[in-house]
Amino acid sequence: MKKILVYASGTRTAGGSGFEKLVENSLTGILKAKIVGVMSNHESGGVSKIARKYGIERCYFPGPYDAAEYQSHVNIFEPDLVVLSGWIKYARGLDPKKTINIHPGPLPYFGGQGMHGHHVHEKVMIAFEEGRIRYSAVSMHFVTEEDYDAGPLFFSYPVHIQQGCNAEILGKEANKIEHAWQSYITNLVLEGKIKWDGNNPDSLVVPDYVPRIPILTSI
């Protein structure tokens, strides 16, 4: 069975629902891999509680967030794939062919440093209320060191925004889609059906049946 190392921040007291869904799906066989460990920047937060609940090896990662530290984790766990699931730190030193991230908003305009969780949903709602966008999205992409959320995008599923919606409601709707799709798409990466050479974005291979809404090129 292939092995996955997860990076998940959560909060000091809660969070980590995406990580928990990955664990549950791994245990039931929906996610065809074993989660061998989880790294969190909170020593005893929500992610650690979930890891204890399921017997997943957890490691407190307070930094430094440099290539040497990230690579040391890979050397220890030897994963086939690294999954960033609600990880808010800059990832360096990881193989871009074998590292993926899930993001709770449309890319590229709602990504980048500081754009995570409710920060994304607040910005999306402002753009919606101003008439600049019609929907939000859950996105998945390969991870590079170019910038936050900058690697090749291979999955983008729309999140409908209704009149009267707010950032909190939008976040809950995005979470539902994340939980429903993350394991399925992760399997496709593990199976090599979604892939790239780690250097040239034009080398990206994605099956036609994978949801990919048009990338926002202007807002």
Domain architecture of the chain: domains with CATH: 2-196 (3.40.50.170)
Helices (H) and strands (E) in the chain, counts: 5, 7
Tell me the pLDDT band of 218, cut-offs 50, 70 and 90. Answer: low
End-to-end, the C-alpha distance of the chain in Å comes to 43
Report how far Cα 53 is from the mean position of its chain's Cα atoms: 22
User: Cis ω on the peptide bond leading into residue 158 (within 30° of 0)?
Assistant: no
Rounded to 5°, angle at Cα 215 from 163 and 169: 30
Residues 6+ apart with CB under 8 A from 43: 60, 62
Alpha-carbon distance 146 to 108, whole Å?
13
Pairing assessment for the beta strands 2-7 and 99-103 based on DSSP bridges: unpaired
For residue 217, the model assigns a pLDDT of 62
**Residue 87 predicted with pLDDT over 90:** yes
CB 149 within 8 A of CB 115: yes
State pLDDT tens for residues 26-75: 999 999 999 999 999 999 999 999 999 999 999 999 999 999 999 999 99
Alpha-carbon distance 33 to 183, whole Å?
10
In three-state secondary structure terms, 19 is helix
> What is the arithmetic mean of pLDDT over 14-35?
97
**Residue 19 predicted with pLDDT over 90:** yes
> What is the arithmetic mean of pLDDT over 124-142?
95
CB 31 within 8 A of CB 101: no
Element (H, E) at 101: strand 99-103
> What is 118-183 written as a DSSP string?
HHHHHHHHHHHHTTS-SEEEEEEEE--SSSTT-SPEEEEEEEE--TT--HHHHHHHHHHHHHHHHH
> Which pTM does this prediction carry?
0.96
